[in-house]
Amino acid sequence: MTSALFSPAKLAGLELANRIVVAPMCQYSADDGCANDWHMMHLGMLANSGAALVVVEATHVERHGRITHGCMGLYSDDNELALQRVIAQCRRAGTAEFGIQIAHAGRKASAQKPWDGAKALGPGQDPWPTFAASPLPWGEGWHVPREATEADLERVRNAFVASTQRALRIGFDEIELHMAHGYLMHGFMSPLSNKRTDQYGGSFENRMRYPLSIARAVRAVVPKHIPLGARITGSDWRDGGLTPDDAVAIAKALKAEGLDFICVSSGGALADIRTPSEPGYNVPIAARVKKEAGIVTRTVGMILKAQQAEDIIASGQCDLVSMARCFLDDPHWGWHAAKALGAEVARPPQYQRAGPKLWAPAAATA
Ligand SMILES: Cc1cc2nc3c(=O)[nH]c(=O)nc-3n(C[C@H](O)[C@H](O)[C@H](O)COP(=O)(O)O)c2cc1C
């Protein structure tokens, strides 16, 4: 049996052993943006999950661009050194390639960690001022951001470039820009959150102007062989918001800026929007993006089962699949999927006796 999911893929100059990607997942556990032993354990575990590529959580370009006090950043030398240590060790111990998501939280910044309530930080919790496309809170009880000025936009764009350069020095194999989930760039793109009347608001072209300028500036410093992509919004799931038609147009615009791939996610523009919860809810949108924009396309969202992932790839709807929660539940998801689909997957030599070929109850007692 030949598995499409376990067939190799090429993203710019990066060779991937299979089509499985671990989606970026905030751990809310960093120290002033610095990765620590938690990240060593978490990413080390995922390095041997069977996924060809593990994408490091949303990593923020400035201190006030973080979602929470525990979010990761690449805004200081200390941040860079700390993440370098973790990634170097994960590479020594694991089989996966490593990517990173570069982000700015915009009006969703200055928030509590999920286990502290996931609300806006209160007065005694060291909150900080936020800014966004328009001075509208994300939801009830959230900080009212100030409208981003030209100076903010320039500083943050430069910070995206600087953080990307730090990521390149660390040696990441893949870089992706966070343009989804209601954070700064999605906030500019969505008519639900962008009410500006200047060159950054109004028409689709104007709403795209700032995110595209970041994509352009970052592309200018990322060598061609390193894949650069973006996670975008497939739908705002709200009347008057971004639609799958917009997702196709966004993907085309990003492709024209030289991006190599798109990851289609959705939702998050406003606090009260509920994303669908059925299996593979973003797949039909991603399939349209792949077909109509003609760019390497990945998707995410309730992809849970090996056969489901196999079918998404085998049917040509997407080039890659990413999964988040099921890798937390089963950090060897990729190994188990390979067994189910009769495919080969890389394992570290220390764990090879758990592989299908070497697995024999008698040998297991040694
Ligand atoms: C703990 C956790 C942290 C997450 N952090 C991020 C993040 O840093 N960046 C991002 O784009 N999405 C983030 N997400 C969303 C996931 O990447 C993914 O899009 C979402 O969970 C749906 O995929 P799933 O059904 O496979 O979990 C996070 C999800 C979880 C569960």
pLDDT tens column, 123-175: 999 999 999 999 999 999 999 999 999 999 999 999 999 999 999 999 999 99
* Average confidence (pLDDT) over 175-190: 98
Our answer on whether the CB atom of 24 is closer than 6 Å to any ligand 1 atom is yes
- For the chain, give the percent of residues with pLDDT over 70: 97
Atom of ligand 1 nearest to the CA of 231: 11
CA dist 306 to 9, 10, 184, 326, 331, Å?
18, 21, 34, 11, 14
Pairing status of strand 296-299 against strand 14-16: unpaired
Q: To which residue do tokens 């470039």 refer?
A: 161
Note the pLDDT of residue 345: 96
- Mean pLDDT, all residues of the chain: 97
Q: Nearest-CA neighbor of 19 among 306, 331, 278, 223?
A: 306
Query: What separation in Å is there between the alpha carbon of 26 and the centre of ligand 1?
Result: 7
Mean pLDDT (whole number) for 233-253: 98
Q: Is the pLDDT of residue 263 over 60?
A: yes
Kindly tell me if the per-residue pLDDT of 362 is higher than 80.
Answer: no
pLDDT digits (tens, 9 = 90+) for 74-100: 999 999 999 999 999 999 999 999 999
Number of residues assigned to the chain: 366
Contacts from 339-342 at CB under 8 Å and sequence distance 24+?
Answer: 340/306, 340/307, 341/1, 341/3, 341/5, 341/6, 341/306, 341/307, 341/310, 342/1, 342/3
Asked whether 155 lines ligand 1 (CB < 6 A), one says no
Task: Name the band, by pLDDT with cuts 50, 70 and 90, for residue 354.
Answer: confident
Contact in structure between 218 and 161 (CB atoms under 8 Å): yes
Q: Is 244 in the pocket of ligand 1 (CB under 6 A)?
A: no
Half-sphere exposure of 322 (CA within 13 A, CB side): 24
Centroid of ligand 1 to alpha carbon of 265 (angstroms): 9
Is residue 366 pLDDT above 70, yes or no?
no
Nearest CA to ligand 1 atom 22: 301
Report the pLDDT value the prediction gives residue 256, as an integer from 0 to 100: 98
- Ligand 1 pocket member 26 (CB < 6 A): yes
Distance 235 CA to ligand 1 centre (A): 16
Q: Which atom of ligand 1 is nearest to the CA of 57?
A: 8
Say how far residue 150 (Cα) sits from the centre of its chain: 26
pLDDT of residue 361: 57
3-state secondary structure of 111: strand
Give burial (CB, 10 Å; 0-12/13-18/19+) of 19.
Answer: buried
Whether residue 286 has its Cβ less than 6 Å from ligand 1: no
DSSP 70-100: T-EE-SSHHHHHHHHHHHHHHHHH-S-EEEE
Mean pLDDT of 113-129: 98
Spell out the residues 6+ positions from residue 312 whose beta carbon is closer than 8 angstroms to its own: 280, 283, 299, 303, 318, 321
Average pLDDT rounded to a whole number, residues 30-42: 98
Ligand 1 center–CA 321 separation, angstroms = 13
Query: Is any ligand 1 atom within 6 A of the Cβ of residue 229?
Result: no
**DSSP symbols for 281-349:** TTHHHHHHHHHHH-SEEEE-SS---HHHHHHHHHTTS-SEEEESHHHHH-TTHHHHHHHHHT------G
pLDDT at 365: 56
Q: What per-residue confidence (pLDDT) applies to 364?
A: 54
* Model pLDDT, residue 73: 98
248, burial (CB in 10 Å: exposed 0-12, middle 13-18, buried 19+): buried
User: Annotated catalytic, 28?
Assistant: no
